[in-house]
Amino acid sequence: MLKSPLYGVLGTALVATAVLVPGAGAGAGTAVVSPDISVTNAKAHLDQFQSIATANGGNRATGRPGYLASANWVKSKLDAAGYTTALQSFSTSSGTSYNVIAEWPYGDANNVVMAGAHLDSVTSGPGINDNGTGSAGVLETALAYAASGQVAKNRLRFGFWGAEELGLLGSKYYVNSLPSAERAKVKLYLNFDMIGSPNPGYFVYNDNPAGNGARDDLTSYFTSKSIQTEYVDVQGRSDHAAFRSLGIATAGTFSGAEGTKTSAQATKWGGTAGAAYDPCYHRSCDNINNLNLTSLDRQIDAIGHMIWNYAQKDYGSTEPPTGTNLLKNPGFESGAVNWTGTSGVITNSSSKPARTGSYKAWLQGNGITGTENLGQSVAVPAAATAAALSLWIRIDSAETTTSTVYDTVKVQVIDGTTTTTLATYSNLNKSTSYVQKTLNLLPYKGKTVTIRFLGQEDSSLQTSFVIDDVAATTS
Ligand code: PHE
Ligand code: ZN
Ligand code: ZN
Ligand code: CA
C-alpha cells in the first residue's frame, strides 16, 4: 500500500528548542531522585487480584483459572505501557503454569537489572499478601517507570513467576531456559514476596554475598526514611534462589509470614507482639483485608528507589547515556506537534504499526522519485560527557536486490550551515521488526542543532522507513 506523496521542505521558523530540566534525570555522579510509587494504584491492582480470585473459585493457584487470568491481566497492563512481554508456559504436576516476563526495551541489553515477584497463590485463598503485594508492587513500579520519562542506562526486566508455591518452579524454569550468554547479562535480581503483611516487619535479605551491595542499598533507603530494618536469612525460600544458584546478585524485602513478632520488634515497628506477621499466611483469609497499607506503601517506594537507581548504575554501559529525553513528542503520539518537515509523515495509519502507541514517522514508501523529511531542534548541554540519539526503525521494501542501494533514509544533524549525516539506512537494511539504533551526539555539546531524518526514493519499488520512539539523551 502506498502513501499519498506529499513533499515539503524542512521548516525553519517553527523549531522547538528542548531545554534540560534542572535536577531531572541522572547526570554522571548525580544521585537519582527516588520516585513515589503510588500505593493507591498498587491497591487497585490488589483489588483486581481479589476480583480475579473471587470470580475463579477463591484462589489464583497454579493450574486453576484464577492464575492464568492474573497472568493475562498483568501482561495486558505491561503491554499497554510499552513493555515487550512474553507469557512463558511450563508444566507442573498441577497443570500448566506461566511466567510473565516484561522488558523495557531501552538501555544496554548487556546489563540487565531484574525485579520479580511470584504471581501464584496457594489453593486455599486469594493470596493477597502472599503474593498479590509483591506482584502489585513490581507491576506498579514497572508502569511508573514507563511513564516517568527516565532514560534507562541498563535494561530493566520484570518477572512475575508462576508456581512458586509448588517449589519455586517458575523462576527455576526461567533461569534454566536462559542461554548461558543471557544469564551472564543479568547483573541483579530483586525479589518481593509478601510486602504488605498486616502485622509488618521490615526485613531485608540477600542470601548471597554478591547481593550485599543491593541489600545495603535497601537498608540505607529505609534508614533514610527513618524505618529500621532487620537483616534476615530467608534461606532461599523464594524466587531469588534460582538466580542465586547461578551466582547472580540477589536481594529482596519481606514484611513477614508465619513468624511471630517479638516485643522488641513491636517497639520499633508498631503492631502486635506475640502475633504472627501474617496470621492469614497460606489461609483463605489472605484476602483484600489482609493488608497493612503503610507497609505496602513504604515497600513499593523501596522497589521504586532500587529500580530508578539500578537502571542508571554504571555497569560499563556506554549507550544510551542517562538523562531526560531532550526531544519533545518523541514517540509522535501528539501528531506533528514539535516536529517540522513534510506533512503527512507523522501518521497513525494502521498499515504500518507503531512501535509504541499508534503514531510514528513514516518516511517514503511512495515508489516514485522524491524526498521527505522530518526534524526537531535540540539543545545539547555544554556539560554533557555523553550524548546519544537513539531511535527505533523498521524498513520494508519492495526492492529485491541484496547489493544495490536505491532508497535511503539519512539521520542528519544540521549545525548552522553544516549538515552531517550520522547514519544512512537503505533498502538493504530491510527489517519488518523495529531495530534500535544509537548515534553519537557528543560532538554537538553546547550547541543547538536540528536532528533531521531525510528520506529519498528512486522511481520504482517502494521502501518504507518507519521511525518511532526517538530519544536524545545526555549524561
Ligand atoms: N516464599 C514464601 C511463600 O510464598 C514466603 C516467604 C517469602 C518466606 C520470603 C520467607 C521469605 O510462601
Ligand atoms: Zn506462599
Ligand atoms: Zn510468597
Ligand atoms: Ca509512537
Decide whether any atom of ligand 1 lies within 6 Å of the 237 Cβ. Answer: yes
Q: 330-364: string of b/e by CB count within 10 Å (b at 16+)?
A: bbbbeebebbbbbebbbbebeebebbbeebbbbbb
Q: Judge if 302 and 403 occupy the same domain.
A: no
Residue 475: predicted pLDDT: 75
The predicted pLDDT at position 317 comes to 61
pLDDT at residue 176 above 60?
A: yes
**8 A C-beta contact, residue 192 and residue 134:** yes
**pLDDT at residue 404 tops 60:** yes
Beta-bridge partner residues of 438: 390
Please give the average per-residue pLDDT across 202-216, as a whole number. 96
> Ligand 1 pocket, 286 CB below 6 A?
no
What domain range is 417 assigned to? 340-474
Instruction: Give 25's DSSP letter.
Output: S
Q: Are residues 293 and 364 in the same domain?
A: no
Establish whether 164 is a catalytic residue.
Answer: yes
In a domain, 121, yes or no: yes
* CATH number assigned to the domain comprising residue 389: 2.60.120.260
pLDDT on residue 387: 83
Residue 225 sits in a domain whose CATH number is 3.40.630.10
The verdict on the CB of residue 238 being under 6 Å from ligand 1 is yes
Does residue 232 have a pLDDT over 90? yes
Q: Which of 20-24, 60-64, 131-135, 458-462 has the lowest mean pLDDT?
A: 20-24
pLDDT for res 411: 96
Q: Which three cell numbers stand for residue 26?
A: 541522572
For the beta carbon of residue 107, count every other beta carbon within 10 angstroms: 26
Q: What is the sign, positive or negative, of the torsion defined by CA atoms of 57, 59, 61, 65?
A: positive
Residues 305 and 364 both lie in one domain: no
Q: In this structure, are 222 and 353 located in the same domain?
A: no
| Range of weakest confidence among 209-223, 355-369, 433-447 | 433-447
Tell me what pLDDT residue 443 has. Answer: 80
Residue with the smallest CA separation from ligand 1 atom 11 is 234
| 365/33: higher pLDDT | 365
Q: Which ligand is nearest to the CA of 329?
A: 4
Q: Is residue 324 part of a domain?
A: no
Measured from the CA of 281, which atom of ligand 1 is nearest? 12
Pocket test for ligand 1, best of 124, 194, 197, 230 (most atoms within 8 A of CB): 194
29, 30, 31, 33 alpha-carbon torsion, rounded to 10° = -160
Shared domain for 184 and 237, answered yes or no, is: yes
Task: State the cell numbers at 35.
Answer: 520516585
- 357 & 411 share domain: yes
Statement to judge: residues 19 and 158 lie in one domain: yes
- Tell me, yes or no, whether 32 and 87 share the same domain: yes
In a domain, 390, yes or no: yes
86 beta partners: 101
Query: Out of 164, 165, 372, 399, which one is annotated catalytic?
Result: 164
In a domain, 224, yes or no: yes
Tell me what the pLDDT averaged over the chain comes to: 91
Q: What is the pLDDT of residue 31?
A: 60
Q: Is 254 close to ligand 1, i.e. is its CB under 6 Å away?
A: yes
The answer on pLDDT for 179 being more than 50 is: yes
Mean pLDDT of 79-88: 96
CA of 391 to the centre of ligand 3 (A): 39
Same domain, 24 and 158: yes
Count of domains in the chain?
2
- Mark whether 141 and 96 lie in a shared domain: yes
Higher pLDDT, 218 or 1: 218
pLDDT for 91-101, tens place per residue?
999 999 999 99
- pLDDT category at 322 given cuts 50, 70, 90 is low
For residue 75, being part of any structural domain is answered with yes
Same domain, 344 and 304: no
Structural domain contains residue 316: no
The pTM of the full predicted model, rounded to 2 decimals, is 0.67
User: Mutate which of 122, 193, 218 to test ligand 1's pocket (most atoms within 8 Å of Cβ)?
Assistant: 193
Q: In this predicted structure, what is the pLDDT of residue 439?
A: 81
| pLDDT at residue 149 in the model | 81
